[in-house]
Chains A and B, each alone.
Chain A
Amino acid sequence: MVPVLSGRIQTRLVLLLVVGSVVTAVVTPLVGADYRTTFAVLAAVAVLGVGWELLYHLLMQFRWEKDWPSLFGLLTAVPEGLLLWLLLDAGLLPTVDTVPLAAYVVHFAAVWLAVWLVANGPMRVPFLRWRFRGGRLT
């Protein structure tokens, strides 16, 4: 899928809501965190993500093809994960007290990888028109 701005945002929100929630539900007990915390982290990935998508959209304009290689979709986990951790660490995330770094990394990486995998293929099965509309679902 080669995204348009609204498609980026819609796809991110829907996939985090559906795929992200399932992964979070499964991973939370495994890393010994509580649901309130992990779902707050998930929500933060979604909310901050809107800002990130604006930035990615801007960067994409420098590409002649106006595309976004799937590798970028994977690697952007690094800056996003780091920023979110810094915010968490500084106690700037409402409703969350503290999270152990290991639990955070496992949860964040699992969600990211699952969302990325679904966006790179299976998503096209129920949403036949999605890839031709720049990731828009509406």
Chain B
Amino acid sequence: MPERELRDRGDLTQALLDNATWPDSLVAEAGIPVYDVPLVTVGGGIGSFVLVDYLRIAGVPTADIRVLSTIDNPWQTYEYLTRVSQIPGPERIRSDSSSRPDNIWGFPSYALSEAWRERTLRPLVHVLGEPIFADYWTPRVADVFKSMARESGRIGYPTMLVKGVVRMVRRRAGGGYFTVLTPPVGTGPTKRVAYRSRFVHLAVGYPGLRFLPDLQEFREKYGDFTRVVNAYESHEHVYEALRTRPGTVMVRGGGIVASRVLQRLMDDRERFGLQTKIVHIFRTFVTGAHGPHLWSRRKGGDGWAYQGFNYPKSVWGGQLKAKMRRLDGAERATEYKRMGGTNTPKRRRWQQQMRAGREGGWYEASQGLVERVEPAADGTLVSLVTGDAGTRKIGADYIIDCTGLEADIAEHRVLADLLAHGGAGRNPLGRLEVERHFEVKGTASGDGALYATGAATLGGYFPGVDTFLGLQIGAQEITDDLARRGFGRRIGSVRSTTQWVRWAFGRPVREG
């Protein structure tokens, strides 16, 4: 058969698209080659990586796992997003010293490793004083990647990686799932291939970028993509232009990305002696400590809500984790609302810079909702802002939207298919509803199970899902659940300790 014809075969047929459950014969008829493997993880980002790390340490051989992904190494997407949102290699990230995606124990912490490597006690003294006498100590982003690269080699991650875009996951008649993958053009025998597995794990990260509606409208109407940018897009040209010509930048949003963008603008101002003016618009302007009662007050001021991490710290292991685990429906949604919301850490450096900006009259923050953005005759952008101070027109040369990666999960093809055909449902926040052990509710298939971790599952019994530590908590729950089902071993004290020793000496994880 000519190659062309072969490639046209092996595509999805109408029968496959229409059936929620696929018998083996239906896939065979379509000419899609089938590969058998007990577990596939879809995504290949940090969520997939930490699950594979756990499973390998629990004794699962590399032959039993396949990672289906568009990226070459697990930190690639994270690296891109951190770089564009102004956390380059030498900068420090948000999460703390014990959130180590390359080490399931969180010991030694990043601070201890850095102290050892650089022969200095400073990181340890810093950690001892946090968060009272110092900001939270956090690792350099470059060190996070380096340590993950080491672990990737140790567990044989590259041998499990299969490149391609996953199109859908469907239940298999008789149990388990088919995961349909589109390999990069010219690399597969057919247009699609399928993985037949008893278990599937989804860690596809963010479903997509969400633009503020008024900015979306502006971009569509005027076709201007250079002056109105989202912080999660590459927007280096804005900083470059400001170095050649003074200008005003409007920053929108009150989260950590807004803090990072402000820092970059202010650092550049200082470093290159620029005259940049910054107008900062908060939708919710926080003026001080806020919360319903004395036992529930979060710090805030100058517009910001302050919190070290995206949720209160005890969400990852203390009181709030235990509490949330018991809540369902509206009660859960209320609790999310109480402790969630946009926030940023109160870092000393950022406070200094903003203070200098306010005193110098070049940084101004206020509350407001932007109704419309239009180009003015003088070439600037005019935002029509309504708010506590009435309706105003605010001019700027650039607008940087720092509001988020919050698109609906149905914008992701695989998740949309799962909602439509796989039995999955939504949680009180509208994302994928998962069990306490991260199995997606309603998707069981015979003796198989489908799990999900990461941002797509926010709103479940555990709020910290979209963080390194949260992904590891999810991976631990899944590994234990899989062990109960006879896949891999439960990691007990002895195995945990011996495996840790191997980690410490950089010895590879054995097969089986």
CB–CB B128/A67 < 8 A: no
Known: A3-B318, A65-B307. 15 other contacts (CB 8 A): A2-B314, A2-B316, A62-B294, A64-B307, A64-B312, A65-B314, A66-B313, A71-B129, A125-B107, A125-B497, A126-B493, A131-B98, A132-B316, A134-B321, A134-B322
Chain A, 50-72, CB within 8 A of any chain B CB: 60-62, 64-67, 69-71
B466 to chain A, nearest CB (A): 16
CB–CB A67/B104 < 8 A: no
Q: Which of B16-24, B295-303, B385-393 contacts A (4 or more CB under 8 A)?
A: B295-303
**Chain B interface residues (CB < 8 Å from chain A):** 98, 104-109, 112, 127-133, 291, 294-299, 307-308, 312-314, 316-322, 473, 476, 491, 493-494, 496-497, 500
CB–CB B496/A67 < 8 A: no
| B299 cross-chain contacts in A, Cβ below 8 A | 64
| A102 cross-chain contacts in B, Cβ below 8 A | none
| B500 cross-chain contacts in A, Cβ below 8 A | 125
Q: Give Cα A2 to B298, complex, Å.
A: 18
A67 to chain B, nearest CB (A): 4
B480 to chain A, nearest CB (A): 8
Mask of A96-119 contacts with B, CB within 8 angstroms, 1/0: 000000000000000000000000
What is the size, in residues, of chain A's interface with B at 8 Å between Cβ atoms? 27
| A132 cross-chain contacts in B, Cβ below 8 A | 316-317, 321, 473, 476
What are the 10 tightest A-B residue pairs by CB atom distance, in nearest-first order? A2-B318, A66-B314, A67-B313, A65-B312, A65-B313, A126-B493, A66-B319, A2-B314, A121-B107, A132-B317
CB–CB A65/B497 < 8 A: no
CB–CB B107/A67 < 8 A: no
B304 to chain A, nearest CB (A): 14
CB–CB A2/B497 < 8 A: no
Partner of B107, one of A64, A69, A122, A133: A122
A90 an interface residue at 8 Å Cβ cutoff? Answer: no
Q: Give Cα A91 to B321, complex, Å.
A: 43
B282 to chain A, nearest CB (A): 20
CB–CB B109/A121 < 8 A: yes
A46 an interface residue at 8 Å Cβ cutoff? Answer: no
Residue of A nearest to B501 (CB): A125
CB–CB A134/B319 < 8 A: yes
Partner of A65, one of B133, B308, B494, B496: B308
Q: Which of B107, B296, B497 has the most CB of A within 10 A?
A: B107
Q: Give Cα A69 to B473, complex, Å.
A: 21
Q: Give Cα A118 to B107, complex, Å.
A: 11
**Chain A interface residues (CB < 8 Å from chain B):** 1-4, 60-62, 64-67, 69-71, 74, 121-122, 124-129, 131-134
A27 to chain B, nearest CB (A): 24
Q: Give Cα A74 to B129, complex, Å.
A: 11
Q: Sample 10 A-B pairs with CB under 8 A, ordered by A number.
A: A2-B313, A4-B318, A65-B313, A71-B130, A121-B108, A127-B493, A131-B106, A132-B317, A134-B314, A134-B318
Q: Given that A64-B312, A70-B127, A126-B497 are contacting pairs, would A4 and B322 also be in contact in the complex, using a CB cutoff of 8 Å?
A: yes
| A124 cross-chain contacts in B, Cβ below 8 A | 105-107
CB–CB A64/B496 < 8 A: no
Q: Give Cα A134 to B307, complex, Å.
A: 20
Q: Given that A134-B319, A134-B321 are contacting pairs, would A128 and B476 also be in contact in the complex, using a CB cutoff of 8 Å?
A: yes
CB–CB B319/A125 < 8 A: no
Partner of A70, one of B128, B294, B295, B312: B128
Q: Given that A2-B317, A121-B112 are contacting pairs, would A64 and B473 also be in contact in the complex, using a CB cutoff of 8 Å?
A: no
Q: Given that A64-B298, A132-B473 are contacting pairs, would A69 and B318 also be in contact in the complex, using a CB cutoff of 8 Å?
A: no
Q: Which of A65, A70, A121 has the most CB of B within 10 A?
A: A65
Residue of B nearest to A70 (CB): B128
Residue of A nearest to B104 (CB): A128
A121 to chain B, nearest CB (A): 5
Partner of B319, one of A4, A71, A127, A131: A4
Residue of A nearest to B130 (CB): A69
| A62 cross-chain contacts in B, Cβ below 8 A | 294-295
| A127 cross-chain contacts in B, Cβ below 8 A | 493, 496
| A121 cross-chain contacts in B, Cβ below 8 A | 107-109, 112
Q: Give Cα A71 to B130, complex, Å.
A: 8
A75 to chain B, nearest CB (A): 10
Q: Given that A121-B112, A124-B107 are contacting pairs, would A66 and B318 also be in contact in the complex, using a CB cutoff of 8 Å?
A: yes
| B109 cross-chain contacts in A, Cβ below 8 A | 121
| B129 cross-chain contacts in A, Cβ below 8 A | 71
